[in-house]
Amino acid sequence: MKFEDFKYVRPNIDTIKTDMTATLEKFKSASSFDEQDGFLDEINKLRSEIDTMDNIGYIRHTMDTRDTFYEKEQDFWDENRPYLEELNSAFYKALVDSSFRNDLENKWGKQLFTLADMKLKVFSSDIISELQEENKLCTEYRKLMASAELMFEGEKRNLAQMQPFMQSKDRSTRKEASKVHWAFFEENESKFDQIYDKLVKVRHTIATKLGFENFIEVAYLRMDRSDYNHVDVASYRDQVLESLVPITTELRERQMKRLGLDELHYHDELIDFNSGNATPKGKPEWILEQGLTMYKELSKETEEFFNVMTDKGLLDLVSREGKAPGGYCTYIANERVPFIYSNFNGTSGDVDVLTHEAGHAFQVYSSRNFDVLEYNWPTTEACEIHSMSMEFFAWPWMDLFFKEDEAKYKFSHLAGGLLFIPYGVSVDEFQHYVYANPTATPEERKTKWREIEKKYLPTRNYEDYPFVDKGTFWFKQMHIFEVPMYYIDYTLAQVCAYQFWIKSQNNDTKTKAWEDYLELCKAGGSVSFLELVKLANLDNPFKNGSIAKIAGPIRSYLDSVNDKEL
Ligand SMILES: [Zn+2]
């Protein structure tokens, strides 16, 4: 069956409540492991059905935000998700209290119970109204971002459609485009401030009601982090500052020289070469065809996976009016298939969708046989290893997409990942400040943001944009609003993905690296982050020296490129 034929039916919340409660009661009073295990199957099926409808509804809403049917369905889910969380919570409680817990752990693995323990700590029926408010505010942010209709070069454009202009090789075009882009945020400054301020306050209330000092620990638990804490993360940020920031500062200076500029302004950061950034050499349909070839040649497993994606219409890639911005990959549990969503805009980002988002999709497809929802995806820092590593495993096929721009693409990709990490830790440090200081004013937050940026991104220059210079860059960072503390995950995964890149560059280690990657994908979310890292034979990024270790090989590759010729 194709995606367009997947049936969406709004679930009846009362029926769900009755069914779930009844099955949970039977689970609790089961007199043997086998009996209880049978009810666990039933519960998993029920949860899977709900999750499936939630996801189909969400996908169709983002595909056309003007469709009032699915807009109403979003309201329905926003309203009811907390009740479903309450049911989930009852499920987790029954799970951890089970008198057959040992047998269940033997069959299903420890991770489900570790997750259940964490989820229980961050949910209580006392916080349902706060959770509803949090959901509504996130939707409000999403709508505000999607409402951007920017007039540029005679046409109305959304934020994603401005990207190609913001990295134009013509300096005045990219400067102008950046101004138009930031003007949207400036015009809506008070809205962004209000939404975020309300989010911080409601999250702080949630934390205190749950018995925590502030929201930081709640955010870690929500992110299902079971084997590291904020102290590990703080020392990891220090590693970045010591081992990486000197290199990224050098890379920015190199970029400035390469571009022949005296000063590298913010709007110059997005352009790597005066001859233009690497771009895919064809239209969206053509890019997709190259993707088919790539996954066919890469491995038998990826070939099967990508055929399913195209045959079942599980890709919505091209930008069009009304589509929500951004890109994501999600999973439709009952059909056991992923879905990839993006806004192609003619930049190399289009190819990243086919490697990055497809990496996510390949993982969830590889682990689709787990019957428990919790194991379909790992925790998010582990998820990004699959996607970011796939970007590197795809390197041998980049000539297909970029032709004469292949060398440019690879240079930008490798350097870009490195340049991203200090930004990623800035977003993380900022949020630690925000939630440790819930009474800070919007102005204080902006000042703090700029201070953190100056530490990790010392070359960043917003001289032409006083509005951004006062500390508002983060307005555009969806994760800060919608998924607190998420962002560091991208950097942790990048550090892991670079390890796969290093191995894949060497003929002696590349086959083993791919095998390790397949194992990692198949394991899904059945174990924790650091266990997955170990299973894939990767170095733990928190271990002092891990970042310095990857920096060497990356730097020598970049140094070997005569970038002025590109
Ligand atoms: Zn991703």
Digit-coded pLDDT (tens) for 363-409? 999 999 999 999 999 999 999 999 999 999 999 999 999 999 999 99
User: Average pLDDT, whole number, for the chain?
Assistant: 95
CA 393 / ligand 1 centre spacing (Å): 15
Would you give the DSSP letter of residue 373? G
The answer on pLDDT for 345 being more than 80 is no
Rounded to an integer, what is the distance from CA 20 to the centroid of its chain?
Answer: 31
Q: Report how far ligand 1's centroid is from the alpha carbon of 353 (Å).
A: 9
Ligand 1 centroid–CA 357 distance in Å is 6
199-258 pLDDT, tens digit each = 999 999 999 999 999 999 999 999 999 999 999 999 999 999 999 999 999 999 999 999
Distance of CA 412 to the CA centre of its chain: 20
Distance (Å) from CA 387 to ligand 1 centroid: 6
Please report which confidence band the pLDDT of residue 285 belongs to, taking 50, 70 and 90 as the band edges. confident
Ligand 1 midpoint to CA 380 (Å): 8
- CA 210 – ligand 1 centroid, Å: 30
C-alpha–C-alpha distance, residues 370 and 203, integer Å? 33
Is pLDDT above 80 for 346?
A: no
Are the C-beta atoms of 324 and 356 separated by less than 8 Å? no
CA of 235 to the centre of ligand 1 (A): 24
pLDDT at 262 over 90: yes
Answer whether 47's CB lies under 8 Å from 88's CB: yes
Distance (Å, whole) CA 63 – CA 264: 37
Cα distance between residue 539 and residue 536, in whole Å = 9
Between 283 and 547, residue with greater pLDDT: 547
Residues near 300 by beta carbon (within 8 Å), at least 6 away in sequence: none
Average pLDDT on 422-442 reads: 98
Spatial separation of the C-alpha atoms in residues 507 and 510, rounded to whole Å: 5
What's the 93 CA to ligand 1 centre distance in angstroms?
A: 31
**pLDDT (tens digit, 9 = 90+) per residue, 292-316?**
999 999 999 999 999 999 999 999 9
Cα–ligand 1 centroid distance for 67 (angstroms): 27
Distance 127 CA to ligand 1 centre (A): 30
Which of 125-129, 144-148, 202-206 has maximum average pLDDT? 202-206
- The confidence score (pLDDT) of residue 344 equals 86
pTM, 2 dp: 0.92
Range 459-471 average pLDDT: 95
pLDDT band per the 50, 70, 90 thresholds, residue 34: very high
Question: In angstroms, what is the span from residue 19 Cα to ligand 1's centroid?
Answer: 35
The stretch 328-346 carries a mean pLDDT of 93
Q: What is the distance in A from the centroid of ligand 1 to the CA of 384?
A: 5
Contacts 24+ apart (CB under 8 A), 188-192: 188/144, 189/467, 189/472, 189/475, 191/144, 192/141, 192/144, 192/472, 192/475
Residues 6+ apart with CB under 8 A from 118: 221, 224, 226
Ligand 1 centre from 541 Cα, in Å?
Answer: 18
Average pLDDT over residues 342-357: 87
